[in-house]
Structure 1
Amino acid sequence: GVRATATIVLTVRVSDVPLTLTTDPITITLWHAMGEANQALLQKYADSFQLLYPNVTVVIPAGVGNYDTLKNNMINAITGDAMPNMVQSYPDHVAEYLNGNAVLNLNPYINSAAWGLNGADSIDDIIESYLEENSQYDAAGTYYSLPFNKSTEVMIYNKTAFDALELDEPVTWQDVIDAAPALKEYGDAIAEAKVRAANPEMIEEDLAPLIAAAKNLIIPASYDSTGNAFITFTRQFGGAYTSINFSTFQGQYLWNANANTTAAMQFLKDNNDVITLPEYWDQQYASTPFVNQQTFVTIGSSAGVRYNVPAIDPTTSEPIFEIAVGPVPYNGLQPDNKAVIQQGTNIALLKTGTAQDQLASWLFLKHIINTENTTDWAMATGYLPVRTSAYTSATYQTFLNTPTANQLYISMAANAAYKQSGYMFYDPAFIGSSRARVQVGLALERIMLGDGDIAAALQEAYTEANLGGS
């Protein structure tokens, strides 16, 4: 017989990641939107990084003030070919930068035998939902960013009021509704007492309208973010918000004419005398009415709990009332739909500089999210660690269980966040997703505080979101 033979040619692709880091001087830049205190922490990590890599200088300029400005600066930098090496970003911002072909694929770095996320820095140690969020940009699950300063929402409540009324911590929204009459009466009494104390000489006839107006500002519960409230209640009622079509990479808006989304909005409309929005008090956040005891339960960022701590009573040298922090309530009629939003920014690397510059940028990203630094960052800022090993470390467990006085409120928020970590969610990031969030927030404001026309509000949000493109 005849023996058949074939020649097989194997082509081995050389990795884009250098096997060694040069000893020549390297300078990399990280753009961010944080204030001075958090910038100082980043600088601390840059300084400790330079001890490991003396030839690498990390430049961390002052934050630009807010994330929208940072995004606009980045888009201009992409257009002008003047990008930094690294940028702090929300997922929808990364989606826009990807559209400009500006973001490095992190998979070769993550999987690098020399420099990857292995051993003590294992990628498997990073919180799973954070990994999913940072690999959502294509159907292949490519990583274009990694988690940095993550947070969620928690429930802050007036423990003094709840204890006085012998109320348990709310677990469901139905619990909040059940507690509302007692909280309303408690708040009304405080409001009336304040009016009387401020007007000791006023006759009852003149006091009456002032007291009525003050009582009108007492609403038992509030939700800081209109956009987050819409999305969270939609999920808790089994509704639909957005999705992404990976074949076209376009976002899809799903809330309009969805029966379960409409049911969530009906629930909020029907209970707007129990649960309201900061706009009811002409505020951006509910922390001011909360510390004024005009509301007694508020849902806000785990990183912002300190803003809900009341002033010190000069007669006791203690806060005017005690606060407590717990998980966000869920819909008691649909316990399988527990949901709480996953928030905070990530860090992306950009197609800037040489392969050596990009490797140095990657190594700095690895450094700031290692166990030691993510633990330190979380304890100092109120954000959450991005690694399981940080949560379980002796240092963080001490912080959770026996915090110092200065750590108390950050620790309370972290404990509440950890309890609900099993049902945190994120929404698809695409060009136009941030516009969708704004529009559904405006819709919720109309439903709860405006004319209450649910169908018209949802349709208007749908139309306006589509006008922005996706």
Structure 2
Amino acid sequence: MKKRLLSVLLAGVMASSLVACGTKPAESKAPAIATEIKENVEINFWHSMKGVNEEALTKITKDFQDKNPKIKVNLVYQGGYTELFEKLMGAAKSNTLPTMTQIYNNRLSWYIDKGLAENLNPYMEDKNVGLTKEDKEDIPKMFLDDGIFGDGNYSFPLNKSEMVLYYNEDMLKEKGVAVPKTWDELKQATGKLTIDSNSDGNPEVYGLALENNISTDFSIFVQQAGGEIIDEKADKINFNTPETKDAVEFISSMIKGKTATLAGEDKNANNTLIKGKAAMCIASTSAIPYLEQGMKSKWFAAPLPTYKKDVQLYYGTNVAMFNTSTPEQKLAAWLYTKFLTNTENTSYFSMQTGYMPVRKSASESETYKAFLKEHPVKEIPLKTLDKGYIGARQVGTIPALNELGKELEQVFQNKKTVEDALKAAQEKGEKAMQEARSN
């Protein structure tokens, strides 16, 4: 009896030592992933794609199911991005998360922090269902690295786009304005292109239209001014800095000068351009199909005009899986993710939508090259990948930027000075980020 008691005590001491040293006992290791679909399995994919985007997604999904008859993919449209993310948060709290979702990484970070996101590394590295070295090198490094958090990879690039400057060629030609390449040139061009025929302060045509949610994309202007609006590595908000001030003064000078406008009731800046109420607009390349459909005048696009640094903003959502599903469902979701983003399908998706392919082999294929000859505007985001930038992703980024947006409105409406607004944005942004992390 004494020997048995001693053995139990020794075992307890050894287990405690393992935990104290940071080494987990063998039985706590995560089980190996499933690598074969043996029985019928059903997965749910929540998304925000509509119109041509949803049509392309549906076609690719049908092709996948035809080739994988044991897997059924339920495409569940959840409304716009905001609605999708709100529903995901509700599902997380009620333990009803889908198998997989379309999501921005600055939203996904919360689910990673709460231990709800599935690490894709075991799937990516598996010899049977994973990616080859060539596969990984085929995906632009900026997009692949964006899914890496710590030692894990939690998302895979799906629909990617670039923020660009669209312009009405006829309007620029009529006013003798060249496509602006710098901030100074953009500011001068907006003045020349603005039309206020009766000088009542309400132009019939603005030189430039901007998105309503400008704070979400404001990071690129701060980057071009030489700053970093939210430093992810240092985990620091930089709203009240000289670089952010430069960016705010640049944008606000055009808005307060009535040569630039937010989209307002048009909802999106590309709609203001389509309606002929602006000569130029800054928007995502995802708007290309809408411009192709709606623009009556000749139009084209160019990379964003630059300032101190030549940096271009890339964004778009990714595919992520939740770890609340069965091993077979997670394997099915991974196989579907691979299929969605392979060379053939990312090429097809790009040709049908405003998004760019997420594989180099797709854009280099003869089929895609022939497509670009007929749609040269789609080549713009492919040419500036080496200058690409993607914003910060840590938990609390969105609430912090929302506070910045509120203060920017005060500046645009002449209710606050830039200095006062940025000081308030810094304080409120830091508080919002901390609250998001304690939620």
TM-score by length of 2: 0.85
Residue 427 (structure 1) aligned to one of 372, 378, 391: 391
* Aligned equivalents of 1:282, 1:456: Cα separation in 2: 28
| Structure 1 stretch displaced more, 351-360 or 89-98 | 351-360
Q: Which residue of 2 aligns with 1:255?
A: 239
1:349 corresponds in structure 2 to: 321
Do the aligned residues in 2 keep the contact of 1:64 with 1:70 (CA within 8 Å)? Answer: yes
| Secondary structure of 2:137 counterpart | helix
Measured after TM superposition, the shift of residue 215 of structure 1 is 5.5
Question: What's 1:241 paired with?
Answer: 229
State the Cα distance separating 1:374 from its structure 2 match.
0.5
Question: What is the alpha-carbon distance in structure 2 between the residues aligned to residue 58 and residue 291 of structure 1?
Answer: 36
Instruction: Give me the whole-angstrom Cα distance separating, in 1, the residues matched to 2:79 and 2:385.
Output: 29
For the 8 Å contact 1:226–1:442, the answer to whether it is kept is: no
Q: Does 1:276 align with 2:263?
A: no
> Aligned with 1:460: secondary structure?
helix
In the alignment, structure 1 residue 35 sits paired with structure 2 residue 50: yes
Q: What's the % identity of the aligned pairs?
A: 25
Matched, 1:231 2:219: yes
Contact 1:30 1:86 in 2 (8 A): yes
Structure 1 residue corresponding to 2:285, chosen from 291, 294, 302: 302
3-state SS in 2 of match to 1:171: coil
Q: Secondary structure at the match of 2:206?
A: coil
Alignment partner of 1:323 out of 290, 299, 321: 299
Gaps of 5+ in 2: 1-25
Cα distance, 1:46–1:290 mapped onto 2, change above 3 Å = closer
Q: CA deviation at 1:452?
A: 4.9
**CA RMSD of the aligned region, Å?**
2.6
Question: Residues 371-424 of structure 1: CA distance to partner in whole angstroms, max 9, x if unpaired?
Answer: 0000111111111111111111111111111x2xxxx4xx51x22222322212
* Residue 83 of structure 1 pairs with residue 97 of structure 2: yes
Deviation at 1:129, TM superposition (A): 0.8
- Asked if structure 2 preserves the Cα contact closer than 8 Å seen for 1:167 and 1:179, the reply is yes
The equivalent residue for 2:127 is 113
Q: TM (normalized to structure 1)?
A: 0.79
Alpha-carbon deviation of 1:341? 1.7
Quote the residue 1:374 is aligned against: 346
What code does the residue aligned with 1:133 have? D
| Paired letter, 2:380 | A
User: Which range moves more in the overlay, 91-100 or 357-366?
Assistant: 91-100
Cα distance per residue 1:241-264 (max 9 Å; x no partner): 112358xxxx421222x1222222
Following the alignment from structure 2 to structure 1, what is the Cα–Cα distance between the partners of residues 236 and 334? 33
Amino acid at match of 1:104: E
Say if 2:161 and 2:286, in contact at 8 Å, map to a contact too. yes
Q: Where does residue 83 of structure 2 map in the other structure?
A: 69
Q: Show the counterpart of 1:177.
A: 187
Structure 1 pair 161–60 and aligned structure 2 pair: CA distance change class (3 A) = same
* Correspondence 1:168-207 to 2 at 5 A: 168-184=178-194, 187-188=195-196, 192=197
Write the distance in 1 (CA, Å) between the matches of 2:293 and 2:163.
Answer: 19
Separation in structure 2 between the aligned mates of residue 428 and residue 436 of structure 1, nearest angstrom: 11
Aligned to 1:3: none
* Counterpart secondary structure, 1:82: coil
Distance in structure 1 (CA, Å) of the matches to 2:37 and 2:266: 53
C-alpha deviations, 1:196-239, integer Å up to 9, x for none? xxxxxxxxxxxxxxx33376454322322412553111111112
Of 350-359 and 122-131, deviating more is: 350-359
Instruction: After superposing the two structures, state which structure 1 stretch, 174-183 or 391-400, moved more.
Output: 174-183
- What does residue 339 of structure 1 align with? 311
Tell me how far apart the structure 2 counterparts of residues 109 and 52 of structure 1 sit (CA, whole Å).
Answer: 20
Write the mapping of 1:413-452 to structure 2, written as runs, cut at 5 A: 414-452=378-416
Choose which of 146, 149, 165 in structure 1 pairs with 2:159: 149
User: Residues 339, 259 of structure 1: CA spacing in aligned structure 2 closer, same or farther, 3 A cutoff?
Assistant: same
Question: How many pairs were matched up?
Answer: 406
Which range is displaced more, 426-435 or 44-53? 44-53
2:69 to 36, 54, 69: 54
Residues 45 and 98, structure 2, Cα contact 8 Å, conserved in 1: yes
Specify the alignment match of 1:7 in structure 2.
none
Distance across 1 between alignment mates of 2:294 and 2:284: 20
1:265 maps to a residue whose letter is: V
1:16 aligns with 2:29: no
Give the letter aligned to residue 266 of structure 1: E
Offset of residue 306 of structure 1: 4.1
